[in-house]
Structure 1
Amino acid sequence: MKNQQMNSIALFIMGKKGLACLETMLNCISVELKFVIYATDKNVEKDYADEIIALCNKHNVLCYNRNSFDETLLNSVSYYIAISWRWLIKSDLEKLIVFHDSILPKYRGFNPLVTALINGDEEIGVTAIFANKEFDNGAILGTEKTPISYPIKISEAIDIISVCYQDLVMKIGKEIANNTLVATPQDENQATFSLWRDEEDYYIDWSLDALVLERTINALGFPYGGARSKMDDKIIILDEVKALNDVKIENRTSGKILFLDNNQPTIVCGNGLIKIEKAHYLENGEEVNFKKFRTRLK
């Protein structure tokens, strides 16, 4: 006999990962997607809001901007799932499922994927939890993870982890449909935290290890604003870099150009060297032409 009371969900989504999960849920016939709430993000170069709206319109799914959404509509759905969402959802916490960008309980908090890449983690993943009033410590409903290798840019990592998101949202969708969700408490002894980041965190500390800097620069690129440094009172964005083996420098000073070859400077780091293969100015987007050998990056 056909179930007349099919469980339903609403999605709170942003960004490429949110778009990927929307595509997956539109193909999940076991649970009804009643509506989507999206948001724009001025802190990234591309927020995928237009693509989310277009996909909803294509499939005749109701779509609301977060600024105009009536939260009383949530009373009509079984569960709501938040993916890449940054704002408080005033709702029944027992119905709110949050997708977090890490393998919890590791990296509770902010920008966990960026932190994982900077730290050189060998695997990345996503965890679905029931929301609660604490800091990302809700009971775990499921985890998907995948190995990665370095060097890797944040855009590539997002593509890779988006598949994890799709696999997990399909799993959660089926469990909602079948009323088989199982939640497991997190191990508090294994919990770590990832701090919030702001504009100052885009600036490079050249006293760090070259491999750490290579990972950091790659982790801050598109769709984020890009790792940056000051040169001759101007701000440059570092687009393409490569960590190099160290040489013996008797009077080591981090941030100075050591070699300059074909407009590609090699910068002294706290340990090791970084070769800047491509950079552009923040102010006008023009490519940086490194002409002066006696140059210090700050």
Structure 2
Amino acid sequence: MRVATLGYQTWGHRTLQAVLDSDHEVVLAITHPKSDHAYEKMWADSVADLATEHGVPVHIANKPDEDFKAALKAAQPDIIVANNWRTWLPRDVFDAPRYGTLNIHDSLLPKYTGFSPLIWALINGEQEVGLTAHLMDEELDAGDIVLQRSTPVGPKDTVTDLFHRTVDMIGPITLDALALIESGRTDWTPQDRSQATFFHKRSDEDSRIDWTWPAEALERLVRAQSDPYPNAFTTFKGQRIRVLQSSVSTGNYGGTPGRVFIHEGDGMVIVAGPDARTGQNKGLVIERVRLDDGTEMSGKEFFPHGGGYLGR
């Protein structure tokens, strides 16, 4: 088939590479311009550079304006394959090719539509994550499902681990979905939109630790913000502290959320949870921190004794 790709960063790059390595013909690659947004500067393999290396025409755009539509029309693709395209597409774009538009989304739809699905899924304690290949319609990430592939989430997995596992799944699911579409099948699986969850783009504030969360959720937040992602952070005496490693305490601790309490192992227990006053909650053990100057130290080194409150 004649394939046009819409993609950005490493997700779009892996998708384009898979199609280039297949028997399909890539007739156009459309991508976004480079961005200074923290989440768009990492995993930033260039779709434009890869396309240029292979002699594929490139069009750079933020949204589907008239120049975008003209480039797509001139390319005459049989299908569009999208991955990590960041703006809404109208029907006259996604429905223009003979087979429409196949989107690769890094969640098990209908859950985690929208942005940063791996991060939110890990924070929420999902037991598995994965990819969905679906046909686009006018609602974001809502079209009929062609294929899904999943991978389990381990108790120590970071979002970086999950990124590498799911990004390696992009090529196979893309080509397998294209093969099903090219075969003439149309018996795709409609999404149960009553089960849909829609998440916003993350910002700096989303990495700030809220000590009223249960310790178990905070431990997952730390793993969901592993390097090179912006780390989960808190403040202590006006200083920002990035939490690199943490665990759920062995003991139960009571008091006010955010209280710097007592050492456990090489870490410092912080009182946590919405009902911390009951003394029935686990605390979050901060085991390793990074300061603004790049200095890293254990929680026990940074907090030589208890006292004071985080987030103040």
Measured against the shorter chain, the TM-score band is: 0.7 to 0.9
Q: Give the distance between the partners of 1:160 and 1:12, measured in 2 at CA.
A: 22
**Partner residue, 2:83:** 83
- 2:287 corresponds in structure 1 to 277
Name which structure has the greater RCO, CA cutoff 8 Å, separation 6+. Answer: 1
Most deviating of 186-195 and 223-232? 186-195
RMSD: 2.6
Instruction: Please state how far the C-alpha of 1:204 moved relative to its aligned partner.
Output: 0.7
Question: 1:43 offset after TM fit, Å?
Answer: 2.5
Task: Kindly indicate whether residue 146 of structure 2 is the aligned counterpart of residue 146 of structure 1.
Answer: no
Tell me the CA shift for residue 157 of structure 1.
Answer: 0.5
Q: Is the 8 A contact 1:106 1:190 kept in 2?
A: yes
What does 1:110-125 align with in structure 2 at a 5 Å threshold? 110-125=115-130
Aligned AA for 1:66? A
Q: Is the 8 A contact 1:112 1:194 kept in 2?
A: yes
Name the CA shift for 1:45/1:190 in 2 (closer, same or farther; >3 Å). Answer: closer
SS in 2 for 1:238: strand
Superposed displacement of residue 144, structure 1: 1.4
Residues 254 and 152 (structure 1 numbering): CA distance in 2 closer, same or farther, change over 3 Å?
A: same
Would the aligned equivalents of 1:25 and 1:173 in 2 still touch at CA under 8 Å? no
2-side partners of 1:164 and 1:258: how far apart? Answer: 43
* Gapped regions of structure 1 (runs ≥ 5): 1-6
How big is each residue's C-alpha offset from its partner over 1:80-132, in whole Å with a ceiling of 9 and x where there is no partner?
12212211234433222222222112223332222211111111111122222
Corresponding residue of 1:185: 190
The answer (yes or no) to whether the contact 1:14–1:47 under 8 Å persists in 2 is: no
Q: Deviations over 1:172-192 (max 9, x none)?
A: 232344444543321234333
State the AA in 1 paired with 2:284: I
Change (3 A) 1:89 1:292: same
**TM-score scaled by structure 2?**
0.81
More off after superposition, 217-226 vs 228-237: 217-226
Secondary structure at 1:70 match in 2: helix
1:258 corresponds to 2:261: yes
Going from structure 1 to structure 2, the CA distance change for 1:189 and 1:260 (only over 3 Å counts) comes to closer
Structure 1 residues 59 and 177: alpha-carbon distance in aligned structure 2, compared to 1, 3 A threshold: farther
Matched residue of 1:156: which SS? helix
Using the TM superposition, give the Cα deviation of residue 135 of structure 1 relative to its aligned residue in structure 2, in angstroms: 3.7
Deviation at 1:34, TM superposition (A): 1.6
Q: Which moved more, 1:133-142 or 1:41-50?
A: 41-50
**TM-score, with structure 1 as normaliser:** 0.84
Do the aligned residues in 1 keep the contact of 2:10 with 2:46 (CA within 8 Å)? no
User: Alpha-carbon deviation of 1:295?
Assistant: 3.5
Shift of 1:155: 0.9
> For residue 159 of structure 1, what is the aligned residue in structure 2?
164
Contact 2:112–2:199 under 8 Å retained in 1 = yes
Identify the match of residue 72 of structure 1 among 66, 70, 73: 70
What residue ranges of structure 2 are gaps of 5+ in the alignment?
Answer: 274-280
Letter matched to residue 73 of structure 1 = A
Report which stretch shifted further, 202-211 or 61-70. 61-70
Preserved CA contact (<8 Å) 2:114 2:201 = yes
